[in-house]
């Protein structure tokens, strides 16, 4: 699975310092790099990950690093081993 985009504009609720939201995972065509260096179109499961936060609670750089780490875990974890 790959995340199509990271959107930092999720619907922030006033009672929390940050909100993380996801979208459905759907199969979409994407450009992939081939081993020979060329590019091709392939179908991959894709999803959206969104986050909003209260800048008074913590700096956006921390939120960005957190969101990047979540993305990395979601894209690289062997989820079949978890089942």
Report CA 42 to chain centroid distance, whole Å.
Answer: 19
Instruction: Please state, in angstroms and as integers, the Cα–Cα distance from residue 40 to each residue in 17, 46, 76, following that order.
Output: 41, 17, 21
Cβ contact 22:3 at 8 Å: no
pLDDT tens readout for residues 32-66: 999 999 999 999 988 888 888 887 877 888 888 98
In the DSSP assignment, the letter for residue 82 is G
CB 28 within 8 A of CB 19: no
Catalytic residue among 12, 36, 44, 59: 59
Q: Is 46 helix (H, G, I), strand (E, B) or coil?
A: strand
Name the pLDDT band for 10 (thresholds 50, 70, 90): low
Query: Is the pTM for the entire model greater than 0.75?
Result: no
Whether 55 is catalytic is yes
Task: Name, of 7-11, 41-45, 71-75, the range with top average pLDDT.
Answer: 41-45
**Among this protein's residues, is 12 annotated catalytic?**
no
What's the pLDDT at 23? 84
Q: Does 8 have pLDDT greater than 60?
A: no
């Amino acid at each position: 699975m790959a995340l199509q985009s990271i959107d930092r504009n999720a619907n922030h609720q006033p009672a929390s310092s940050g909100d993380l939201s996801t979208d459905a995972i759907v199969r979409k065509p994407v450009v992939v790099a081939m081993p020979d260096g060329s590019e091709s179109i392939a179908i991959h499961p894709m999803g959206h990950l969104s986050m909003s936060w209260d800048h008074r609670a913590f700096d956006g750089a921390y939120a960005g690093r957190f969101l990047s780490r979540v993305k990395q875990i979601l894209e690289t974890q062997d989820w079949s081993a978890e089942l």
